[in-house]
Amino acid sequence: MHYEEVFLIFWEQVKESVQEGRFAKLTMAKTIGKPNLQNIFVRPLNTDDGFKVMLKFSYRSPETHDQEDELSLDEAFVVLQSHLVKSFSSVLLFTTTKDVMFKVNKKGVGSISEKQPTFRNIIQAERKIEGLS
């Protein structure tokens, strides 16, 4: 099955884990080539206006500062989807009940696999206070 269709199935599992309070973390990994962007991490962030995520772009070069954005889950989906196949070939969903891996092979075919959970507890991302480093 083409990777975009499989990614939608994977993303349903992400949304389900959030709704059930099992979402611990999501990581885009396995870069394609040697881009400066090394990883994208997504952590849960509870806010006064509902569930949000802290999306962090982690870069290889020390000259490029990591970037963090507070987004809705739908906004995070758009960002992550835009980096599939261009920058990353896998996405790992960590929940408190299982880990789910989405992969794209060289032919553009997507697959999903599951294994035992890495995380037993959920650690919320922390907001950075503006003006402080």
Read off the pLDDT of residues 2-31 as tens digits, 9 standing for 90 and up.
Answer: 899 999 999 999 999 999 999 999 999 888
Residue at 122 is within a domain? no
* 3-class secondary-structure state, position 107: coil
Domain extent at residue 18: 3-115
Confidence of residue 133 (pLDDT cuts 50, 70, 90): very low
Q: Looking at the domain assignment, is residue 130 inside a domain?
A: no
Considering the domain boundaries, does residue 125 fall inside one?
no
pLDDT at site 128: 59
**132 assigned to some structural domain:** no
Residue 127 domain-assigned (yes or no): no
Strands (E), 48-123: 50-59, 67-71, 88-95, 99-104, 110-115
Q: Tell me the pTM.
A: 0.86
Share of the chain above pLDDT 90, in %: 66
Write out the two tokens for 105.
């092979």
Query: How far apart, in whole angstroms, are the C-alpha atoms of residue 18 and residue 3?
Result: 22
Number of folded domains that form the chain: 1
